[in-house]
Amino acid sequence: MPDASKPPDPRLGWGAFRPSEFRAVFAERIRLLRLLPLAGWGWVAAMVGTQAMLILTVPATALLSGELIRRTLAGEPVAGALGGLLVTLLVGRLTRPLGTTVMTAVGRRIDGALRERLRAVALAPATIAHLEEAEFADDAHRASEIGEGFWVRSPGTASVSVVLLAGRMLAAVASAVVLAGYFPWLAVLLLAGSMASRAIQRRQWTFFVAYSDRLSPGQRRLEYLDDLAAGLDAAKEIRLFGLADWLVLRRADWHWELRSPMWALRRSILRRQGITVLLSVLCASAAFLVPGLAAADGALSIAALSTCVIAALGIFEITWVGFETFDIEYGKGAVQAVDRLADRYDKPGAAPPGAAPGGAGQVGESAVRFEGVGFTYPGGAHAVLDDLDLTIGKGEILAIVGINGAGKTTLTKLLAGLYAPTGGRILIGGRDLAELDIDRWRRRLSVVYQDFLRYPATVRDNVALGAPEVPADDEAILSALRLAGADELLDKLDTQLWRTGRRGRDLSGGQWQKLAVARTLYATRHGRGLLILDEPTANMDMTAEIQFFDRVVSGVRASGAGVVLISHRLSTIRNADRIAVLDGGRITESGSHADLLARGGTYARLWNLQASRFAEAAQ
């Protein structure tokens, strides 16, 4: 966390005048403008049209005001000048809210398109390793953060703000052209001074925005506490253990720790505004003194004086660093985050050119072999798997056991292609999994992980999602529910499962797990040749657990599919064709239940330990 006592030094902002600074700002603005087509050319044309009308009203107001005064003093008819001025003011009044509405619509359409891109980038990699990287999490947060206070971290708002800012600058240039008709050197001086003042302010305050952008990890931590306090997952423990006050105080402490450096930096920047104030005073003095003295000497008419003053005020509009400047900088950070994510992760896991079509489709007829497989999680110091060798035979019921943290779930994720081995290889029918079409391979798998999803959908859809490529088959869905032991759900296919919905209902943990198992069984009816069941009975009662192997695994065996079964409850897996013990990142024992008991190794020790517990409970 940054040190609040030593905020970064934003300097006086003189670096804003370096050519490299201008080039960088110009490139950033062009990048934002390239987002506009995402909103549709019709909307863009409407936005540009409204901005053009607003630009023209600024010099028109100055010219018509001067003409109205001239005619009034000369005793000439003023109807034309007065009517023109009224129309100009009316157009400005009506166009401004219309332009705001159009710009809001354009910004939202751009944001929608970029959010779709962000989702596509997050889903593009074949593996899920990137989702555990801090760099991905930080940039994903920057790309989707709502913003803070009046500032909006929106790429769409940033894009339209560039158009708004360009319009203000063009209006200032147009006003300078009007003023140049009377005092050319004064017009150049005011325009240059106003631009310089704005550049210095922009550099100082955008330094603040850039610094706040570095605090994304801390902001994610705050949002985690917010979700914890308001969500259902932690609601019970927060109340049972009386953690509400602790949570509120911890959130306040983290907020203070995160924001204190920003407040100190804001104060530092405000103390450094002397140069911009001096520039503003000098420009304003020149704007009023030069035409005023000329009018006092009789060299300038009152009408021309009015035109000059109004034109000068039009130039001064650009010295105000409005919300659009912060919106641009905040939104620019979101766009840059999306670009970084796309550069790093937008690499779909397609089959390589040499991969044979359908090669992964033979999983039901091929053995799977791990050869010297090693794996270390990104940023991890120790290997979870190390030189692991394992074969999964065709149609085999293989159980994998081991202590917590042995790497059992990691092994199944490697098998599903969710992670790539950091050493060795996985062979499917003799071919390296890395060379196969990963999507075709996954269409031959069905998996139930410990943290299975509870889809906010009907019972029917929760089962049918096991094979989303085919239309829902009620007969197969009912068969899968029966096989999974979820008889109580057979007449509830249309029930909406959504615990926060008005007409939705929730299920018990065991019922949800049966539903997840039914989803995998449904998948076997539609061509899945290998099932991976990770702790499939963890939430079930003892009766359901006892019936699980006989009902579920035997049913899968009859279909010819293979099963990889992980469970800490050894009674669940004792009838597997083969049991493999994972210890120290390797398979240390492999054989049938009887073989492993006779060997007297790790499996026998675990079995006897569990059996003794049940015996003690029975006594």
Note the pLDDT of residue 351.
Answer: 41
d(CA 409, CA 479): 28
Give pLDDT tens digits for 511-554: 888 898 899 889 888 888 898 988 887 777 777 777 777 777 77
Note the pLDDT of residue 37.
Answer: 92
> Could you give the maximum distance between any two Cα atoms of the chain, in Å?
120
Give pLDDT tens digits for 561-605: 888 998 887 877 888 899 999 998 899 999 999 999 999 999 999
Query: Looking at the predicted structure, is the pLDDT value of residue 233 above 50?
Result: yes
Q: Is 277 exposed, middle or buried (0-12, 13-18, 19+ CB in 10 A)?
A: exposed
Specify whether the backbone of 496 is left (phi greater than 0), alpha (psi in -120 to 50) or beta: beta
Sorting pLDDT into bands at 50, 70 and 90, what band is 380? confident
Kindly report which listed range (265-279, 482-496, 538-552, 563-577) carries the lowest average pLDDT score.
538-552
Note the pLDDT of residue 414.
Answer: 92
Residue 214 or residue 162, greater confidence: 162
List where CATH 1.20.1560.10 sits in the chain. Answer: 21-345
Residue 106: partners with Cβ closer than 8 Å, 6 or more residues away: 36, 39, 43, 44, 47, 156, 159, 160
Q: Which tokens sit at 145? A: 């953060």
Residue 257: partners with Cβ closer than 8 Å, 6 or more residues away: 1, 4, 218
Considering the chain, what is the average pLDDT of its residues?
Answer: 82
Q: What is the CA radius of gyration of the chain?
A: 35
With contact defined as beta carbons under 8 Å apart, do 104 and 112 qualify?
no
| Overall fold of domain 21-345 | ABC transporter transmembrane region fold (1.20.1560)
* Most confident region among 71-75, 272-276, 399-403 by mean pLDDT: 399-403
Query: Cβ–Cβ contacts within 10 Å for residue 77, how many?
Result: 9
Give pLDDT tens digits for 296-353: 888 888 888 888 888 888 888 887 776 777 788 778 888 888 888 888 887 654 444 3
d(CA 85, CA 82): 5
Give pLDDT tens digits for 436-468: 888 888 888 888 888 888 888 888 999 999 888
* Most confident region among 162-166, 219-223, 234-238 by mean pLDDT: 162-166
d(CA 60, CA 572): 85
Query: Looking at the predicted structure, is the pLDDT value of residue 46 above 80?
Result: yes
Note the pLDDT of residue 355.
Answer: 43
